[in-house]
A and B are shown apart, each in its own frame.
Chain A
Amino acid sequence: MSEIRFETIPVGNLRVHVCSTDKFKTNLLSAMVQQELSSSSVTRHALLPSVLQRGTESYPSTLQLKRKLDELYGATLFGDVYKRGERHIMQIGLEVPNERYLRDSSPLLEEGAAFLGELLNRPVIEGKAFKESYVHAEKKNLKQKIESLQDDKIRYAAQRCVAEMCKGEPFSLFNHGRLEDLDSIDPQNLYTYYRDLIRTRPVDLYFVGHLTADQVTRMVEKHFPTRDGQRQSVPVAGVKHSVDRVKEVTDRLDVKQGKLNMGCRTQISIRDEDYVSLLVYNGILGGFPHSKLFTNVREKASLAYYAASRLESHKGILTVQSGVEIANFPKAVDIIKKQFELMEQGEISDSELSQTKAMLINQLKERRDRSADLIDFHYQNLLSGMDRSLESIIRDVQEVSKEDIRKVADNVQLDTIYYLRDKGEGPVDETH
């Protein structure tokens, strides 16, 4: 199998990462900007991608900007903010069709790079501020986005569980920010925030597609203003957190199905040596259809349609999520707790171990087939400060023993049980 690699080239104080491949029919450019996850910046940071996508110097109206994208054969502009542990990442990128596959051979990528460079560095401004009407409209949209979290009960329960579990820690913040901050944001302070961010915080520019590293470097030099000077690194808190008492939290909304979520501290993050063992632990517990949670909660007890676990690798948190009949909450909690106990006791069959390893390795290898996954994998690795290649993680997965998993299990502590239930009568705090 051909190895797919990124080459990293510093251009001024930008880091440019290039993956040259002819595997895809599009070229992808993506910028990542890091910020510390904190209550003082979370909402402003969350607002930026949508304000930036409203207009640039050359395409000052959103209609002009969107029509330009259509002319570039439906180039896709995307922007979002997400959490990686206690870092808040802003991503803005552009995917442009490769003209080799079109009858019309005008060079789309060069124009796309110029477009993205301008979008990031020369947005529409009025004096020393973003355009007021754009900021105003996007504040309203962000308000809606925050309010609509409760519309998707699976996401809502996941966010609420983490928010309760990490109360007082930055990680409790929602990636799209807080309603109460919106009033204090204006076009001036948002623009000041952005200028400072883009000048001083780490910026990584990714390219995946059909150009060499030299060609990409020249393109970046031409379209992205480069500066000298150090960028400040973003501090990251440790993940050790001992739990004194398991919290139980119940929210009530008008729902037909109850959501049962649990949050655990694993004391291990992507920066630790035993991270790969944690990956296997999570896989055996609840990562796949053969895992303990799916098998026992769904297939054996017929209690749920979904029951799974997930890792937040930078924060060292493992969460369980399931949707169950409200009356069955106690039964489901017992079954899930039992699965954690089995993990601690090392009750893992040979086939559970071998199936999980095979599935994890497959998942890792499949990441080579999507350009967005290639970027994500490289960037997570870069944030972790550990130089792990896909191949080395695969090798490490193969080495993990039952004893390694038991050691991980010793550290995993249940922190919070979260219930989302109906508004009907009944005690608010169940005892189990």
Chain B
Amino acid sequence: MKRIEHKQLKETLYYEQLDNGLQVYLLPKPGFSKTYATFTTRYGSIDNHFQIPGGDKIRVPDGIAHFLEHKMFEEEDGDVFNRFSERGASANAFTSFDRTAYLFSTTDQVKENLTTLIDFVQNPYFTDQNVEKEKGIIGQEIRMYEDNPDWRSFFGLIDAMYEKHPVEIDIAGTVESIAEIDKETLYTCYETFYHPSNMLLFVVGPFDPEEIMDLIRKNQNTKDYQKQAEIRRFYPDEPEKVAEPQKEARLSVGIPKCLFGFKEKNVDLEGDELVRQELATEVMLEALFGSASDLYQSLYDDGLIDDHFGYDYSLEPSYGFSVAGGDTPDPDRLVERVREELPRILDSGIPENVVERIRKKKLGNYLRHLNSPEWIANQFIRYRFVGSDLFQVIPLLEELKAEEVNRRLSEHIDWDRFAVSIVRPL
């Protein structure tokens, strides 16, 4: 077991890669009450076309990664939630574009709960009957999102930007696509993506790392995993330009929603390179749209945005985009103003002192997030999966230069890659 100390942050991380390929990270947090564990596979909604090592290329129905996540909680002897509840652990799971995470938090019986987590994720149990039953539940989950204007405007934007890449597919799929799911396809996806070498286990809490690592090692040694070759994932060639400049929907809302953003061109990155671009872009977006920017304040004063206005940047090895927006009484005027103002900033550039101010803000935000064991675990995994390290963010942020931020400004702000999504009242 390796020990990695982060002196400035007063955090010590323990790491080991087990014989079956599983990566395990432990972060002791003395003084905390709860232990949070997440067992995550690098498998999400975008992985719908792949090749099973040694097998044929296959394409699977939309929403299957999320469906699989739901079905993992059922075992031959009943529902796994009960096993966690019995030991006072609150369990959950989520599926994103790139990963599926199973997790629990508990203040008691850490070892027993951790064993339950590992065992249930490594023990699929799908039957024709339990697969059919889940379609009703997930159908209602899909319905719930159809009525959610924030979700609709977000997916409207992705849909406007992307033409071919599976990031445009709704994570839960559609009622029609999940109708095609059967237990055989679920097993195929499971066998491909739930091999320990494609997974990461992160545990954070007030425990002894030696004891916990020992438990995980022993647990894995009792299971017979064959070595798995690398999984090949196929993503279609995506044009650089947006698919459509604008998408609109009508829903029963009181206030219109408007999201806009730029589709990223530089997406073939990984490791620290990817994180560097991510940080430079985030600083650039904060300079443009952050609450202490001139543009934000002028839009706010004109009543075009409120304090829920925000921005975000996503960058993964096969896709990337920025998104900004929120509630606005006049979406068209808001977009017009953005189109008018950004070229001026593009001309003048982002001054050094603004980069400094934003650097401070981001360092502080990072510290605040470190109060949350959930945030640490989930972010750590995300950074590992792209080949970097969460704890490298501070040095990378400290090294970031104003020129890099300005280079991102001129690269990213390109009107051919600009899209808008609006949800208007009925």
Contacts and interface: CB of A to CB of B under 8 A. Distances in A.
Interface string A73-114: 111100000000000000000011110011100000000000
B363 A73 contact: yes
Interface of B: 8-10, 31-34, 79, 81-82, 85-91, 105-108, 133-134, 136-138, 140-141, 143-144, 146-150, 251-255, 257, 291-292, 294, 297, 300-301, 303, 306-307, 327, 329, 357-358, 360-365, 367-368, 370-373, 398, 426
A176 interface: no
Interface stretch (A22-30, A198-206, A270-278): A22-30
A102 B394 CA distance: 10
Contacts of B8: 101-103
A351 B146 contact: no
A63 B294 contact: yes
B251 A257 contact: no
Contacts of A365: 33-34, 107-108
B342 to A, nearest CB: 19
A392 interface: no
Contacts of A152: 148
Contact of B138 (A145, A290, A305): A305
B361 A73 contact: yes
A97 to B, nearest CB: 4
B89 A362 contact: yes
B254 A102 contact: no
B367 A102 contact: yes
A416 interface: no
B105 A366 contact: yes
A70 B363 CA distance: 10
Contacts of B106: 362
A253 interface: yes
B397 to A, nearest CB: 12
Contacts, number: 194
A11 B372 CA distance: 32
Contact of A369 (B88, B368, B373): B373
Given A148-B255, A325-B140, A365-B34, A24 B361 contact: no
19 contacts: A21-B31, A70-B361, A73-B364, A74-B368, A75-B364, A98-B367, A144-B255, A148-B255, A257-B140, A257-B143, A257-B144, A289-B79, A303-B136, A305-B138, A305-B143, A351-B82, A358-B85, A358-B88, A362-B34
A354 interface: yes
A257 B147 contact: yes
A147 B254 CA distance: 5
Interface of A: 1-2, 21-26, 50, 62-63, 66-67, 69-76, 95-98, 101-103, 133, 137, 140-141, 144-145, 147-154, 253-257, 288-290, 298-299, 302-306, 323-325, 351, 354-356, 358-359, 361-363, 365-366, 368-371
A23 B32 contact: yes
B86 A323 contact: no
B33 A1 contact: yes
Given A101-B10, A144-B329, 12 more contacts: A76-B368, A141-B307, A256-B143, A290-B81, A305-B143, A355-B86, A358-B108, A362-B106, A365-B107, A368-B33, A369-B34, A369-B373
A74 B364 contact: yes
B82 A290 contact: yes
A76 B79 CA distance: 41
Contact of B360 (A24, A73, A151, A306): A73
Contacts of A370: 371-372
Given A71-B360, A137-B303, A323 B144 contact: yes
